Amino acid sequence: MQEAWTEICESLRAEIGEASYQSWIKPMRLIGLDGGAVRTGVPTRFMREWIQAHYQDRLSELLGSRGLKGGIDVVIHQEHGAPARPDIKPAGAGKDAEASSGPVNGNGNGTHYDDIGAPLDARYTFDRFVVGKPNEFAYAAARRVAEADVVPFNPLFLYGGVGLGKTHLMHAIAWHLRKTRPDRSVIYLSAEKFMYRFVRALREHNTVDFKEQFRSVDVLMVDDVQFISGKESTQEEFFHTFNSLVDQGRQIVISADKSPNDLEGMEERLISRLNCGLVADIHATTYELRLGILQAKGEHMGVEVPLKVMEFLAHKITSNVRELEGALNRVVAHHQLVGRDITLETSQDVLHDLLKASERRVTIEEIQKRVSTHFNIRVSDMHSARRARSVARPRQVAMYLSKQLTSRSLPEIGRKFGGRDHTTVMHAVKKVEELREQDSSFNEDVELLRRMLEG
């Protein structure tokens, strides 16, 4: 079972991102089986509640797919094997012990949700989706599908890199329809699940039922279709389901990590079907969008996060929204657990492993090139002995940035600037610091350069 647990943790790690994984999943300890449920322990009540709210369903699902269908049970338990002491409970936790014994959700056995669809995440609604340049088209298309009376385009094909909001938009369509058109049947599921159901139907010889179920829905949403690349019979079945729904004027929404034409291992006729409707891509996030998402998230959590901290996160965590959320959650959780104010310093501390991993290595050569272009001088002037202000100042800026952005020592930096002495570099750093305080347009220049180099 330990092995299954380790595997599950790993697959969750890929799904939720490193930051959330480190904060929530890694500290969980496997205790054993308890009346069919897998029992795990975490050190605090806060963690237990968080895990239950955010990861329990998915954990149950993953356990279920490995034959452990009894759900998961999270108890408070002192770190590293010491038994939990029921006599010291946090205030107001009277019913805790009871509530935590036995599986908390019935999802593990698959009866809790519609048999063919997958559960929807309550947080993934339109009003919690922050719209910006990179996703406005996909957002508008999704809204259109959710609000239209007549199918506007078929299918709607959403694509983009991981963690950029595809699943969020699909759930949002489903939530919206559930609310406004409860008469319509809406099915959302991953392509993986589609395949799993199909294979099971084949094995149990009831493909007729399977076909019936899928072919009678009003809106079918299949997430991450790249999963069925190379899986021929699943594609075949999917293709037929797809055609039959389209012919009946039912809406289909598909997501993938690439555009239809770039999907590999897909049949030609399926690709051309996928291209028939509207293809909308979600681009990588911009700084503004990341900041907007952090602000919205902070408000939802009811936590006052200083702007400086949000700006810092928006600068540093650029990979995708999931990582960004994970980082914010971690900062907030730390604040709630330890009770220290959220500051730039505590945030850097809490995220230090994450930041180290995502830090891009900027080289002195890159800095010299960028700065030269910016100030319109020749790169060779970075090494030259010319002392005219027009070249000396940019050179100082480049030295300053080299000190800030790389881990090179002063003598090493001096050497890269035409063999200058380390005191020259030191002087440059001081000078630029002074000027940044005195001259706001100079300060903006330097800040802009720093961002570009880090970005």
Residues lying near Mg ion in the complex (CB under 5 A) are found at 166-167
Q: Is the peptide bond before 43 cis (omega within 30 degrees of 0)?
A: no
Nearer to ligand ADP, 221 or 405 (CB): 221
Q: Minimal distance in Å, beta carbon 68 to ligand ADP?
A: 25
Residue 77 CA to residue 33 CA, distance in Å, equals 15
- Is 147 buried (19+), middle (13-18) or exposed (0-12) by CB count in 10 A? middle
Tell which positions 119-158 bind ligand ADP, by CB under 6 A: 124, 128-130, 135
- Answer for which of 42, 51, 164, 371 binds ligand ADP (CB under 6 A) is 164
Nearer to Mg ion, 118 or 274 (CB): 118
- Answer for which of 70, 108, 165, 277 binds ligand ADP (CB under 6 A) is 165
Q: Minimal distance in Å, beta carbon 320 to ligand ADP?
A: 7
x-or-dash string of contact with ligand ADP, 279-298, rule CB under 6 A: --------------x-----
Nearer to ligand ADP, 16 or 429 (CB): 16
23 is a contact residue toward ligand ADP (CB under 6 A): no
9 is a contact residue toward ligand ADP (CB under 6 A): no
Q: Minimal distance in Å, beta carbon 254 to Mg ion?
A: 12
Residue 425 CA to residue 411 CA, distance in Å, equals 8
- Is 360 buried (19+), middle (13-18) or exposed (0-12) by CB count in 10 A? exposed
Answer with the entry of Mg ion, ligand ADP, none that 277 interacts with (C-beta below 5 to 8 A by kind). Answer: none
Q: Minimal distance in Å, beta carbon 325 to ligand ADP?
A: 5
Of 99-107, 164-172, 206-214, 300-308, the window that binds ligand ADP (rule: CB under 6 A) is 164-172
Q: Which residues have CB under 8 Å from 335's CB, separation 6+?
A: 303, 341, 342, 346
| Closest listed residue to residue 228, CA positions, set 282, 268, 191, 181 | 191
Nearer to ligand ADP, 130 or 413 (CB): 130
Residue 153 CA to residue 250 CA, distance in Å, equals 10
The H or E element containing residue 169 is helix 166-180
**3-class state of residue 69 by DSSP:** coil
Nearer to ligand ADP, 124 or 400 (CB): 124
162 is a contact residue toward ligand ADP (CB under 6 A): yes
Q: Minimal distance in Å, beta carbon 130 to ligand ADP?
A: 4
Q: Which residues have CB under 8 Å from 158's CB, separation 6+?
A: 138, 141, 142, 166, 169, 170, 253, 254, 255, 256, 280, 281, 282
The H or E element containing residue 37 is strand 37-42
Nearer to ligand ADP, 122 or 344 (CB): 122
| Closest listed residue to residue 396, CA positions, set 448, 438, 435, 451 | 435
Answer with the entry of ligand ADP, Mg ion, none that 135 interacts with (C-beta below 5 to 8 A by kind). Answer: ligand ADP
Nearer to ligand ADP, 70 or 160 (CB): 160
Tell me which amino acid residue 150 is. V
Whether 313 contacts 324, CB under 8 Å = yes
Nearer to Mg ion, 227 or 417 (CB): 227
Nearer to ligand ADP, 293 or 309 (CB): 293
- Is 48 buried (19+), middle (13-18) or exposed (0-12) by CB count in 10 A? buried
Neighbours of 455 (CB within 10 A): 9
163 is a contact residue toward ligand ADP (CB under 6 A): yes
Q: Minimal distance in Å, beta carbon 122 to ligand ADP?
A: 11
Tell which positions 316-345 bind ligand ADP, by CB under 6 A: 321-322, 325
- Answer for which of 20, 23, 167, 251 binds ligand ADP (CB under 6 A) is 167
DSSP notation for 253-277 = EEEESS-GGG-TT--HHHHHHHTSS
**Residues facing residue 358 across a β-bridge:** none
What is the size of the binding site for ligand ADP (CB under 6 A)? 17
Q: Minimal distance in Å, beta carbon 255 to Mg ion?
A: 7
Q: Minimal distance in Å, beta carbon 435 to Mg ion?
A: 47
Residues lying near ligand ADP in the complex (CB under 6 A) are found at: 124, 128-130, 135, 160, 162-168, 293, 321-322, 325
